[in-house]
Amino acid sequence: MSLYSLVPVTVAALLLLLSVRLLLKPGMVAAVLRAIAALLLLAASLALFLAGYDLNSYRTLLREQALLTVEFQELRPQHYRVALVQGDGSEQRYNLQGDEWQLDARILRWRSGLARVGMEPLYRLERLSGRYSNIQQQVRSLPTAVPLSEAPAGFDTWSLLKRAPGISEWLDAQYGSATFLPMADGARYEVALGYGGLLARPVNARAEEAVALWR
């Protein structure tokens, strides 16, 4: 062992002996345990705070309710401008490629015991995407998808709940829902969410025609 390596190893050994001596002092072990417990409680409180912040981005599902309308303007073949119009009149616009549109949502369902005391399911719209009717074209083409929401502060409660042991007795975090229908110039659909998941319905003649031809 060279002098350059012997010095740090010797210092490390001295520090180790000093730390062991400090730990063996009366009351020191209890102090260390209290510090560890405090750090664990701090970590738990931070995780719960972030979980609450993330769950705040979900909405309560009271009954089947209309969420939004989806309207399409064809820019060129298999390229569409999509307008999502919320119930409050706010609107977001996106570009999608393909023949069909798909909307995805996450749903958190409380188990029967909690549901009986008034805990309602929660939902969050996740993604709007385009898809092709032809499987081979779908494989060859780059998918177009836009996020409709993101986990605040990067803390995804959904993913944690799916892995948490014993959580399935209280909460079902495995459930996702999606609906898809054809895109067409001038078509307008209404998207509703109920206990069975997402449901899209045509609400004008152009959308009804597109669904009839698509089937």
State how many domains the chain has.
2
Give yes or no: residues 123 and 196 share one domain: yes
33 and 72 fall within a common domain: no
Residues 62, 64, 67: CA angle, nearest 5 degrees: 95
Q: Identify the domain containing residue 13 by its residue range.
A: 3-55
Task: End-to-end CA distance of the chain: give it in Å, rounded.
Answer: 79
Shared domain check, 208 and 185: yes
pLDDT at 184: 96
Residues 67, 148 within the same domain: yes
The answer on 77 and 42 residing in a single domain is: no
Q: Are residues 73 and 43 both part of a single domain?
A: no
Whether the per-residue pLDDT at 85 is higher than 60: the answer is yes
Q: Which pLDDT score is estimated for 1?
A: 47
- With vertex at residue 146, the alpha carbon angle to CA 141 and CA 147, rounded to the nearest 5 degrees, is 140
- Residues 26, 78, single domain; the answer is no
Taking the C-alpha atoms of residue 110 and residue 174, their distance in angstroms, rounded to an integer, is 11
pTM of the predicted structure, to 2 decimals = 0.64
The encoded tokens of residue 131 equal 């898809």
More confident residue, 149 or 2: 149
Give residue 142's pLDDT: 82
Computed over every residue of the chain, the mean pLDDT equals 76
